[in-house]
Amino acid sequence: MYRRPLLRTQYEQDAAIFPTWFQKVALGLVILFFVLATLGAPGIEAVPKKFLGNTWIDPVSNMMPLLIAALGFNILVGVAGQVSLGHAFFMGTGAYTAVTLGGGGDGGIKACVPWHDELGLLEEAGQCGLGLPMWIWLPLAGIVAAIIGLLVAPAAVKVRGLYLAIATVGLVFIGLHLGRTFPEFAGDFESGRRWPKLQFRIWKEETPLVDFTEDGQWFGLIHLAEEQKQLFLLMTFVGIFALMSKNLIRSRTGRALQAIRDRDIAAEVMGVPEFKYKRLAFAISSFYAGIGGALFASYLGRVSPVDFSLILSVDFVAILLIGGAGTMAGTVLGTVFVELLPEVVETFTEWLSDQLDGSGPASWLANVLLTSGSGDFGAIATAAAAPGWPMSVHMWNFAIFGVLIVVFMIFEPLGLFGIWLRIRNYWKSWPFSY
């Protein structure tokens, strides 16, 4: 109702995905902004204003598959309350399933030749695959990861809390070991191998029906660059999986998972089969991770096992702690914050470097914060290698994440979503304080 937005008179209103007009309008504006921002990238004369340039369109596209995986991680950790540090393993499972099914592309499975670095076979080795189209290898990437999640779940759900986190950490190291053991599939441990491109084929025809990796007309309507096509595709996948995740959370299954998270013994006494729903949470989370890993590797084009290390799993923990565990909005906010903050810090540092020789407040700030390693004062080193103090931009990003996790855990457990709730509730109750 007008001026009483939290009043619900029907169950349909309470169960709606976007119960208020503000949320609907805000979502429409966000989608419109991203569409215009993508069309405003360099090379498109029809939209002269550049919301996003080449500097930003790549990090945003790289963030989209990670957002899909984060939505799955939120179902397992935020909704079901199962602490896991093995999410990177399931992303790697989906990625290597995708490259095994979609790699090669020569009309059949390509023989996996032995790995002989000294013979110069870096481009030939580790490129085996069935060459299947994307509509096959992408769903199967999630399904295979979900099956492995089901197999791992019985052992994982026997332990809780810190013990569960330690148990799932072992999956990441198992994945890294398998990457070293089978280079004919994983490629070089550091440089990796090529992944199937984001192309839609009906079967194995030479010319794809829709090619997201080449500039050109999209369905004969508008000329788009390669980066723009891929960003639109990834945004579509994010929208689909976000809608699926939201519907799951507000369903009977989602309520059962939340009951287990809040008080598992009480939930089981009330008739919620704890073991069944914990296995289901692992399977769904693994499915999301597999899809995200396949899209992540296919977008980057060349990925190694190192990219699916423990650092990636810790990134997902930071996403939930900073954004807000158990909420869709918090997962989105946390992913945007964690994945784009390094780009913001790096861009800001580059801008400060350009101000060093100038005059004014910006130049003064640059001289205070930056150092070239020649003995001048500054906390951020502009040199490529900067061990110790001062720290490089890359190391400062790690430090910022650590500080933010501690701050949010102590002062705002709901993260950025909790801050938004405080602001929203303040304006709803203004001028009263209760």
What pTM, to 2 d.p., does this model score? 0.87
How high is the pLDDT of residue 46? 41
Q: List the chain pLDDT tens, one digit each, 434 residues.
A: 445 556 777 777 777 788 778 788 888 888 888 888 777 654 443 443 444 455 678 888 999 999 999 999 999 999 998 988 999 999 999 999 999 998 875 444 454 554 444 444 444 444 577 888 999 999 999 999 999 999 988 887 788 778 888 888 999 999 999 988 888 778 777 777 888 889 888 888 888 888 888 887 765 667 788 888 899 899 999 999 999 999 999 889 999 999 999 988 898 888 889 889 999 999 999 999 999 999 999 999 888 889 999 989 999 999 999 998 888 889 999 999 988 888 887 777 777 777 776 676 777 777 777 776 555 566 676 665 555 566 676 777 778 878 888 888 888 888 888 888 888 877 777 777 65
Exposure letters 331-364 (e unless 16+ CB within 10 A, then b): bbbbbbbbbbbbbebbeebeebeebeeeeeeeee
Structural domain boundaries in the chain: 62-218+240-309, 324-434
3-state secondary structure labels for all residues of the chain: CCCCCCCCCCHHHHHCCCCCHHHHHHHHHHHHHHHHHHHCCCCCCCCCCCCCCHHHHHHHHHHHHHHHHHHHHHHHHHHCCCCCCCHHHHHHHHHHHHHHHHCCCCCCCCCCCCCCHHHCCCCCCCCCCCCCCHHHHHHHHHHHHHHHHHHHHHHHCCCCHHHHHHHHHHHHHHHHHHHHHCHHHHCECCCEEECCCCEECCCCCCCCCEECCCCEEECCCEEECHHHHHHHHHHHHHHHHHHHHHHHHCCHHHHHHHHHHHCHHHHHHCCCCHHHHHHHHHHHHHHHHHHHHHHHHHHHCEECHHHHCHHHHHHHHHHHHHHCCCCHHHHHHHHHHHHHHHHHHHHHHHHHHHCCCCCCHHHHHHHHHEECCCCCCCCEECCCCCCCCCEEHHHHHHHHHHHHHHHHHHHCCCHHHHHHHHHHHHHHHCCCCC
How high is the pLDDT of residue 111? 47
